[in-house]
Amino acid sequence: MTPIVFVLLQFLVLALAASSPPSGSITIGASGTGAKYTSLAAALKDTSSNVYFIYSGSYTGQAVISRANVVVYGQSNSSASYSSNTVTLTDNIPASSAGSNAGSATLRVTATGVKLYNLNIRNTYGKPVDQSQAVALSVDAGTFACYACQIRGTQDTLLANVGTQFYGKCLIEGSVDFIFGMQASIWITGSTINTIGSGYITASGRSSADANYYVIDQSTIQGSGTVYLGRPWRNYARVVFQKSSIGSNVPAAGWSQWSSSSPNTDHILFGEFNNTGAGAWKSGRASFATQLSSAISITTVLSSTSWIDSGWF
């Protein structure tokens, strides 16, 4: 079998699985769909299978995936595109009410080997007066893969906190520190980073010289407001944008310090390589930003790629 045929078959299998329930899967859906459960949270208590299929619809409420190797499919006729997603998981709980960032998440992942396909994951709390964080997706363990999902919020949308994480062909949306975390290595590729107000895309909390990176690769940065590529939550923040289209919503400085009283720029790497667009590297870039001479490889960030589906990077 040629490599091209193999990749096409991989996509065909994925498409079939996303449009109807895989054999033996646990189903979630509204009345009339024939599904066994009406919410993902209830379905996850059923451990008779590791595979879950959600029929088209909007589902309100939080869910926690705490079991390893769980796979969740959202019904879709185009598994390789987030724009065709028909399943939305939504809630509107802020961290100020939940007691923690992770506790506010609409969907929380605390186990390794989890894969998500074609889900819209939203925290609709919005932009409050007190600027409380409100997480859509929180990931805290092992290997994690997210394929053609929409992850949408305002402040602190995606908590990529622990483990090695892959996001392929996703939409990630927010305004303030909306890709953030402490001890994860994440690779975002072929995705759309959409800003809905002024702020900062990334807030890396890397606090030591460990192996972790945030890399945004071959993606599109677009949207409204004046938005910096990142600011350092901790003093060893390491974030790279490479081979991406960066829109005019990113100012000439490109990057920001954390604050005037705590700049956190002593040991950071805020890198860029071979980007295009009105917001790409130009005169006036922040003095603590670095123009790289070569791209960062996916294996540098994630070590192994054997757990990532073929054709997604």
For range 151-160, the mean pLDDT: 98
Question: Which pLDDT does position 3 carry in this prediction?
Answer: 46
**The whole model's pTM is what?**
0.94
Question: Which pLDDT does position 126 carry in this prediction?
Answer: 84
The rounded distance, in Å, linking the Cα atoms of 125 and 122 is 9
- In one-letter notation, the amino acid at residue 8 is L
Question: Which pLDDT does position 18 carry in this prediction?
Answer: 75
Q: How confident is the model at residue 129 (pLDDT cuts 50, 70, 90)?
A: low
Q: What is the mean pLDDT of the chain?
A: 94
Give yes or no for residue 11 having a pLDDT over 90. Answer: no
Q: What is the pLDDT of residues 62-73, one digit of tens each?
A: 999 999 999 999
Give yes or no for residue 142 having a pLDDT over 60. Answer: yes
Element (H, E) at 51: strand 51-54
Give yes or no for residue 13 having a pLDDT over 70. Answer: no
Q: Tell me the two tokens of residue 222.
A: 């677009």
What is the three-class DSSP state of 102?
A: helix
Sign of the CA dihedral running 244, 248, 252, 258: negative
Q: What is the pLDDT of residues 225-248, one digit of tens each?
A: 999 999 999 999 999 999 999 999
For range 114-134, the mean pLDDT: 89
CATH of the domain at 67: 2.160.20.10
To the nearest whole percent, how much of the chain has pLDDT over 90?
90
Question: Which pLDDT does position 128 carry in this prediction?
Answer: 64
Q: What is the pLDDT of residues 165-199, one digit of tens each?
A: 999 999 999 999 999 999 999 999 999 999 999 99
Q: Tell me the two tokens of residue 123.
A: 């925290």
Give yes or no for residue 33 having a pLDDT over 50. Answer: yes
- Cα–Cα distances in Å, from 246 out to 99, 159, 304? 35, 22, 28
Q: What is the pLDDT of residues 263-288, one digit of tens each?
A: 999 999 999 999 999 999 999 999 99
Asked if the structure places residue 6 within a domain, the reply is no
Pairing of strands 26-28, 214-217: unpaired
For range 36-43, the mean pLDDT: 98
For range 74-82, the mean pLDDT: 93
Total domain count, the chain: 1
| Residues facing residue 202 across a β-bridge | 179, 230
Cβ contacts of 229 within 8 Å, gap of 6 or more? 200, 201, 202, 221, 239, 241, 246, 250, 254, 255, 270, 272
Question: Which pLDDT does position 6 carry in this prediction?
Answer: 40
Asked if the structure places residue 288 within a domain, the reply is yes
Question: Which pLDDT does position 181 carry in this prediction?
Answer: 98
Asked if the structure places residue 15 within a domain, the reply is no
Asked if the structure places residue 5 within a domain, the reply is no
Q: Tell me the two tokens of residue 183.
A: 């001890």
Give yes or no for residue 17 having a pLDDT over 90. Answer: no
Range of the domain at 214: 24-302
**Phi and psi torsions of 103, nearest 5°:** -65, -20
For range 111-140, the mean pLDDT: 92
- Cα–Cα distances in Å, from 97 out to 8, 105, 155, 260? 46, 11, 15, 29
Asked if the structure places residue 9 within a domain, the reply is no
To the nearest whole percent, how much of the chain has pLDDT over 70?
94
Active site residues: 177
Asked if the structure places residue 129 within a domain, the reply is yes
Question: Which pLDDT does position 1 carry in this prediction?
Answer: 44
Asked if the structure places residue 309 within a domain, the reply is no
Asked if the structure places residue 221 within a domain, the reply is yes
Q: How confident is the model at residue 130 (pLDDT cuts 50, 70, 90)?
A: low
Element (H, E) at 60: strand 57-60
